[in-house]
Amino acid sequence: MFRTDDIFTLKERYRFFHHARLAASWFEANQNTEEHPWGGIRDSADLGRFVYEYRLPGFQARGDGVWGQATAIMGLLALYNRTG
């Protein structure tokens, strides 16, 4: 079985874990929800999607595609499994 402590130093593992938590926080903060809709649009078909791009002039956002959604979901699940 693959073990990270065989390859990476403790400092590297700490940095990777720290960055994974930061990425998870970014995904959570940028998910389109009823409480925080993109561009103030409620009842959007994009509810639950993660942001692909956000343009400040006009505050327009576009949802991520299916592969980006899958990457975000699997990353969040993996972090949850590791941290509870």
Q: How confident is the model at residue 19 (pLDDT cuts 50, 70, 90)?
A: very high
- Residue 6 has what pLDDT? 74
Write down the domain spans for the chain: 8-83
Task: Please write the tens of the pLDDT for every residue from 22-68.
Answer: 999 988 888 888 888 876 777 777 788 888 877 777 767 778 888 88
Q: How many CB atoms lie within 10 A of CB 13?
A: 13
Of 54, 74, 55, nearest in space to 64 by CA: 54
Total number of residues shown for the chain: 84
